[in-house]
Amino acid sequence: MKVRKFITIAAVSLALTVVGSSAFAEKTKLVGSGASFPYPIYSTWFNQFSKANSGIQVNYQSKGSGAGIRDFLNGVVDFAASDAAMKEEEMAKEKDGVQLLPMTAGEVVLAYNLKGVKDLKLSRKAYTGIFLGKVKTWNDPLIAEANPGMKLPATPITVVARADSSGTTYVFTKHLSAISPEFAEKVGVAKQPSWPTDINMIKSPKNAGVNASIKRSTGAIGYTEYGYARMAKLNMVSLENKEGNYIAPGLASGQAALANVKIPENMIAWVSDPAGKDSYPIATYTWMIFHKKYADAGKAAILRQMVNYCLDNGQSIADQMGYIPLPANVIEQVKAAAENIK
């Protein structure tokens, strides 16, 4: 009997040891929300990071930049993501400080659905005219001028825009405002602008929603992130850049757009109308947003670890997913700034 009692106690002791360690150990959960623009690459990074660190789980919800910033300010997430960098007045509301980190970059493209029309070019006057409601059909002289010999139908243009508070919209309207004083006055820069009422417009949530609406609507054109459009196999417009050249989106033209951008101390740099003959005209950094001070120093350390993983391991997949890898000097700046997360 004594032997049996000893074995039973030993077995219980061993079981408790297992329960208290690997089998039932709780994972550290990081929760984030925000931009849909970088969602494909972020979700891949976070999945890979979680697999490489079995005690960590990252849950990121693609809600749109505006919703992510609201979640961050309301304290319901550990970090947020936005293509529209937080404004000074928004950051001033956060008692624990705010650290923005540009984590990847991309291009906002105009994707379209027009049967039999490929390799479309749009001048700056043409595409601002479309989003001002002044260019209403596909055979408009402003479109025809840049596409000599192309058979353009009289099909009405349907504009597809974001329904939600969107960083992609912010970047797009910032570009249009930079190149068109009329657009700046009538619409302006916003995550959820008031578009001209006479535009034939469909509104859809998130980049994936915009793509779906373009696909099912003949005569549609809408703004979306390059990787999403490529994945959806949508036709994309070559846009007239600052130098007057028509440039297709892609890695080389995106890198050319970012080539001369300097990242300041606050890590917020805009690429609203880049110079350079080979530059695609609508490129942007996109940011992850963190507190500078967390109640849990251990969680802060894991967030820094996550950032460094995305910088060291994540940049290599940027191009294949439709994003622009960060330049080496920018990676070093981001790593230094990440040390402010404590």
Write down the pLDDT at residue 93.
87
27: confidence class by pLDDT, cuts 50, 70, 90: confident
Write down the pLDDT at residue 165.
95
pLDDT digits (tens, 9 = 90+) for 40-69: 999 999 999 999 999 999 999 999 999 999
Domain 28-106+284-338 and domain 107-258, same fold? Reply is: yes
Write down the pLDDT at residue 258.
94
CATH class, domain 107-258, is alpha beta
pLDDT at 279 over 70: yes
pLDDT at 14 over 60: no
Instruction: Find the range with the poorest average confidence among 5-19, 220-234, 316-330.
Output: 5-19
What pairs with residue 221 in β-bridges? 112, 159
pLDDT digits (tens, 9 = 90+) for 228-265: 999 999 999 999 999 999 999 999 999 999 998 999 99
2: confidence class by pLDDT, cuts 50, 70, 90: very low
Per-residue pLDDT, averaged over 279-291, amounts to 97
Alpha-carbon torsion (90, 162, 207, 221), positive or negative? negative
- Domains of the chain by residue range: 28-106+284-338, 107-258
Architecture of domain 28-106+284-338: 3-Layer(aba) Sandwich (3.40)
Tokens, residue 333 = 């700046």
Percent of the chain with pLDDT over 90: 90
The stretches of the chain forming alpha helices (DSSP H) are 2-19, 39-52, 65-73, 88-91, 124-131, 141-145, 167-179, 181-186, 206-216, 226-231, 251-258, 297-312, 328-338
Per-residue pLDDT, averaged over 179-195, amounts to 98
Measured between alpha carbons, how far is 15 from 137 in angstroms, rounded to an integer? 73
Distances (CA, A) of 103 to 45, 240, 306: 11, 27, 11
pTM of the model: 0.88
20: confidence class by pLDDT, cuts 50, 70, 90: very low
Write down the pLDDT at residue 260.
85
